[in-house]
Amino acid sequence: MQRKTDYHIHPDYSPDADGVKIIDYCHRALELNLEEICFTTHLEFGPPGSAQPDWLENYIAEIREAQEEFRPQGLKIKAGIEVGYRRGYEKEIERIVKQYPFDYVLGAIHDLAGYSIASAKESPAYFAGRDIRAVRQEYFSLLEEAVKSGLFDAIAHLDIYCRYGIKYFGSQISTIHRGIVEPILQEMSGRKMALEINTSSMSKNLKDFHPSKEIIALAKKAGIKIFTVGSDAHRLNSLGRHIDAALALLEAFGLKNHVFTRRIASPLS
Ligand SMILES: [Zn+2]
Ligand SMILES: [Zn+2]
């Protein structure tokens, strides 16, 4: 039997998540036979309403309590963070990720030109005003900077632009990585970074996970060996969703699921 993990979970510290407590996700994880879970609360920088990291102390403390409580039951619980990468905030990101004892620092591109492309509300304003070449250029140049910043252990939902971009550009959006993602994957491979298989796409009616099989194949070709799987749960019933299928996909590619401890990866099987 595959050893199941969920390495992308948003508890009630994320402003856009339902108010699900860390402890409630842990109980659910036991029911789902998850062996290890990692909380990845959002850390966003910039405009008003963004996270003030004064809650990080409590967040880590609450994870520590959960670790103690669930240790006898065999559930491993990790402290992670999902950082929305923004140009110009590298020093601030570095300060925070060094200040707290994170197991896993997940980097994500959420904001382009001041709009969240991962949000149903904000993405129309971004996509409607742009042609597909501009989306491609803007997304991948920021992704390249995020990778080269050296701040992250893994990249979350690499082709997240497909989530809402498909409404504006149709299936064309799912091929914009061609010819531009390859050197970025090479860079990730050289830096021993992980690539996340994010299953949230399934509830948005996309055919593939984030990223698509085509990009996973390119990642393998580029030599990336470290992969994680995550549901991107913002509510309790999303925890662990489609993780079995993501693990099966990794296996079909001959790739291994990984876990992280104090930012060091190890294969699960
Ligand atoms: Zn994200
Ligand atoms: Zn997330």
The whole-number pLDDT of residue 47 equals 59
| pTM above threshold 0.85 | yes
| Tokens of residue 158, six digits | 């690499």
Which has the closest alpha carbon to 199: 158, 243, 161, 151?
A: 243
Phi-psi region of 104 (alpha: psi -120 to 50; beta: other; left: phi over 0): beta
Mean pLDDT, to the nearest integer, of 180-201? 98
Question: Per CATH, the architecture of 5-267 is what?
Answer: Alpha-Beta Barrel (3.20)
Q: Label residue 77 exposed, middle or buried (CB < 10 Å: 0-12, 13-18, 19+).
A: buried
The whole-number pLDDT of residue 94 equals 94
What distance in angstroms lies between residue 89's CA and the mean position of ligand 1's atoms?
A: 17
pLDDT band at 129 (very low <50, low <70, confident <90, very high): confident
What distance in angstroms lies between residue 128's CA and the mean position of ligand 1's atoms?
A: 21
What distance in angstroms lies between residue 7's CA and the mean position of ligand 2's atoms?
A: 10
What distance in angstroms lies between residue 9's CA and the mean position of ligand 2's atoms?
A: 7
Q: What single letter denotes the amino acid at residue 78? A: K
| Residue 83 confidence (pLDDT) above 80 | yes
The whole-number pLDDT of residue 167 equals 94
What distance in angstroms lies between residue 130's CA and the mean position of ligand 2's atoms?
A: 25
The whole-number pLDDT of residue 2 equals 76
Q: Label residue 47 exposed, middle or buried (CB < 10 Å: 0-12, 13-18, 19+).
A: exposed
For residue range 30-76, what is the model confidence (pLDDT) as tens digits?
999 999 999 999 998 875 444 457 889 999 999 999 999 999 999 99
For residue range 223-263, what is the model confidence (pLDDT) as tens digits?
999 999 999 999 999 999 999 999 999 999 999 999 999 99
The whole-number pLDDT of residue 54 equals 81
Mean pLDDT, to the nearest integer, of 126-150? 97
| Residue 107 confidence (pLDDT) above 90 | yes
The whole-number pLDDT of residue 49 equals 46
- Dihedral, CA of residue 37, residue 228, residue 119 and residue 55, to nearest 10: 40
Q: Are residues 229 and 237 in contact, defined by beta-carbon separation less than 8 angstroms?
A: no
